[in-house]
Structure 1
Amino acid sequence: MPTMYLFGSAAPPVLQVAPIITDLRGRGWDVCLGLTPTAADWLRDDLRGLEELTGHPVRSHYKRPGEADAWPKADVILFAPVTANSLNQWALCLTSSFVVGVVAEGIGKRIPIVAMPCVNAAYAAHPQIERSVDTLRAAGVTVLYGDGGFIPNQPGEKRDYPWELALAAAEAKAFEGR
């Protein structure tokens, strides 16, 4: 069974992660869920259920040196939703959070990675967002942003997050070249 690391940061679509995991499990994926500390706090009442759903501990912090890894090796990493904060930290290799550290290192390990930001138009207007997207794409990350990916909405505007695009891209990336 292939393994997908599903990572999320604190944007509203992270609250939809349980049905996404159920969908992935139904497609034959072993799913390991990683969250930024704030996303983990948002989901704190659901963490036990998410662990039962995945069969793995939900991680939001680094393990201690010498501790065994609780997860199997990833065949692909899907980081969705990615906030402006996590996107910029990742592009700049600022690895204070577990999920950002794993994806930053994942580039060097050549793990297939797909990311789909979730930023509103006010954040998207900041020039660092495009620089970060360009940096990650140049490093081989599939970033679903703009045409064919996430289109920023106006602040406060509610729109469905295009999970199906992220899932399809992650599955394609996992089996690319096999």
Structure 2
Amino acid sequence: MSAAGVGTNGPYRNSERHGVLHVVACGSPLAGHVGRLVELAQREGWEVCVITTPDGAKFVDRPALARQTGHPVRSRYKNPGDPDVLPPADAMIVCPATVNTVNKWAVGITDTLALGLLVEAQGRGVPIVAVPFTNAAMAVHPAFRDSLTRLAAWGVHVVFGDHVVPLHPPGTGERNLHAFPWGAGLAALRDRRCPVTPAA
């Protein structure tokens, strides 16, 4: 990275570079605004790569994010023999994390690239923060609550609760996007409160 704070893979507004941050965006209207998280992370010196779930890909502007990060946005596993196009993660933030992805992740399902990277990252001891975004009705489902508890017990820092990420009634998510605290996941990484213990 140059002294001006511009690396080979996009702009950095902080002269201190933290490493590579993988931002995983799941299938929610909130994913359409994930560029805000990218910008905040870059200001802190992270080199950011964006990965989406297949449903998350429906909401994001892939060309705009590629320009912003200097990396292609990936959503599917690569074909056999294809090179990896993203550098490995030094940390990961799943934001927005949907009920579907959280529940699959908690039982080790890897049927999407995002889930495969998350499960592998846990095994490598990569710090991971999960920031769920869902409505108040889905948030109380026992399976979702159990999944959050399991992930937290395994060392994932779960940023969730009305005091941090306000819940909303079903059908009102798009009207509440403005209130989402994009910096909450980064704050957890900044405080280094999210060590991941490799699975036995």
Cα deviation, residue 114, structure 1? 0.3
Where 1:115 maps in the other structure, the secondary structure is strand
Whether 2:182 is the aligned partner of 1:167: answer: no
Partner of 2:76: 61
Greater fraction of residues in helix:
1
**Quick check: 1:70 aligned with 2:85?**
yes
> In structure 2, how many angstroms separate the alpha carbons of the residues matched to 1:98 and 1:61?
5
Aligned length: 174
* Aligned residues of 2:53 and 2:114 also touching (Cα < 8 A): yes
Q: Which amino acid aligns with 2:189?
A: A
Alignment RMSD (CA, Å): 1.9
Q: Where do 1:143-158 residues align within 5 Å? A: 143-146=158-161, 149-157=164-172, 158=175
Q: Is 2:45 aligned against 1:22?
A: no
Report the Cα distance in structure 2 between the residues aligned to 1:120 and 1:99, rounded to whole angstroms.
22
Percentage identity across paired residues of the two chains: 36
SS for the counterpart of 2:191 is helix
| Residue identity matched to 1:113 | I
**Cα distance in 1 for residues equivalent to 2:37 and 2:138:** 26
TM-score calculated relative to the size of structure 1: 0.90
Higher mean displacement: 152-161 or 52-61: 152-161
Counterpart contact for 1:9–1:83, Cα < 8 Å: yes
1:137-159 per-residue CA deviation (whole Å, 9 max, x = no partner) reads 11110011126533422113333
Q: For structure 2, list consecutive stretches of 5 or more residues without a partner in the other structure.
A: 1-16, 196-200
TM-score, normalising length from structure 2? Answer: 0.80
**Aligned partner letter, 1:5:** H
Deviation beyond 6 Å, 4+ runs, structure 1: none
Q: What residue number does 1:128 align with? A: 143
Distance 1:134 1:3 in 2: 27
Q: Which of 64, 69, 77 is the matching residue for 1:49?
A: 64
Amino acid at match of 2:55: T
Deviation at 1:133, TM superposition (A): 0.3
